[in-house]
């Protein structure tokens, strides 16, 4: 069942020189989750942050930290991100040899487990995994950098995954990340998404604009 839309601003687009302030600002502006993009320069062609930054921002918000791990191998780091304060930990199906085991381990740590599909990863990759997850994240850009344009084929994948979730009667968040703005957001929602990650579209204009930016993504 499609749930009310949650907005998860990606701190990848925040001012890292004052990250705590930025997190507090988007929290107050109406963010539902705080999205944290972790990249290792190996699985994706960029390097961002590690568990210490997650730990550092944790005291600045009571909102859920939605941590997207774009790292491989991912298994050695799951405990560290859980201990740092992540609420949801999402992993790519290509980031380890046994995705099912990894997802179960995340849940054993008391965290919500998410699985991520990059643009070339088929929806069918979720076969036999959906019952093990709390969230599916569909990438509508190639992972690694912010500010990219929305890939149209993601809409078909969103529709397919929404059908899979509903057919099985599961309560699984369907999140979309990449090129989300006031034009693509309603299209993603219409296709079945109920959580949207937005970096550039959230943080543009500075703190005074954050509330309006978030409202626009909701369709307000």
- Whole-number Å distance between alpha carbons of 80 and 135: 20
Residue numbers belonging to the annotated binding site for substrate? 10, 68, 144-147, 177-179, 199-200
The CA distances from residue 83 to 47, 89, 108, 190, in Å, are 21, 11, 13, 36
pLDDT digits (tens, 9 = 90+) for 2-14: 789 999 999 999 9
Q: Is 88 helix (H, G, I), strand (E, B) or coil?
A: strand
Domain boundaries, the chain: 6-218
* Number of Cβ within a 10 Å radius of residue 153: 11
With a cut of 80, say whether residue 176 has pLDDT above it: yes
Annotated catalytic residue within 27, 37, 40, 134 = 37
- Give the count of beta carbons closer than 10 Å to the beta carbon of residue 45: 12
Residue 220 has what pLDDT? 64
Binding residues: 10, 35, 37, 68, 144-147, 177-179, 199-200
CA 92, CA 121: separation in Å to the nearest integer? Answer: 9
Per-residue pLDDT reduced to its tens digit, 45-90: 999 999 999 999 999 999 999 999 999 999 999 999 999 999 999 9
Token code pair at residue 33: 């989750």
Q: Residue 98 has which token pair?
A: 């046994």
CATH number of 6-218: 3.20.20.70
- pLDDT at position 146 is 74
**Taking residues 14-42, what's their average pLDDT?**
97
Residue with tokens 């626009």: 216
Give the C-alpha separation, 106 to 206, whole Å: 35
In this predicted model, what pLDDT tens digit does every residue of 92-147 receive, in sequence order? 999 999 999 999 999 999 999 999 999 999 999 999 999 999 999 999 999 877 77
Q: Catalytic: 66? A: no
Which of 27, 134, 173, 177 is catalytic? The answer is 177
193 contacts 176 by C-beta, under 8 angstroms: yes
d(CA 181, CA 200): 8
Is 177 a catalytic site residue? yes
d(C-alpha 121, C-alpha 74), whole Å: 17
């Amino acid at each position: 069942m499609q749930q009310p839309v949650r907005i998860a601003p990606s701190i990848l687009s925040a001012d890292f020189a004052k990250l705590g302030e930025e997190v507090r600002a988007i929290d107050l502006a109406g963010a539902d989750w705080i999205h944290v993009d972790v990249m290792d320069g190996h699985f994706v062609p960029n390097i961002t942050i590690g568990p210490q930054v997650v730990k550092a921002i944790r005291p600045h918000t009571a909102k859920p930290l939605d941590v997207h791990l774009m790292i491989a191998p991912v298994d050695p780091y799951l405990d560290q991100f859980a201990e740092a304060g992540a609420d949801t930990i999402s992993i790519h199906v290509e980031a380890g040899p046994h995705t099912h085991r990894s997802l179960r381990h995340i849940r054993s740590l008391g965290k919500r487990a998410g699985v991520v599909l990059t643009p070339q990863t088929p929806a069918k990759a979720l076969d036999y995994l959906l019952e093990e997850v709390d969230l599916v994240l569909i990438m509508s850009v190639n992972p690694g950098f912010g500010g990219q344009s929305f890939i149209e084929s993601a809409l078909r994948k969103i529709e397919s995954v929404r059908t899979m979730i509903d057919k099985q009667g599961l309560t699984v968040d369907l999140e979309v990340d990449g090129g989300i703005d006031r034009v693509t957001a309603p299209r993603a929602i219409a296709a079945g998404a109920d959580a949207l990650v937005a970096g550039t579209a959230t943080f543009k204009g500075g703190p005074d604009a954050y509330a309006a930016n978030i409202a626009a993504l909701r369709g307000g």
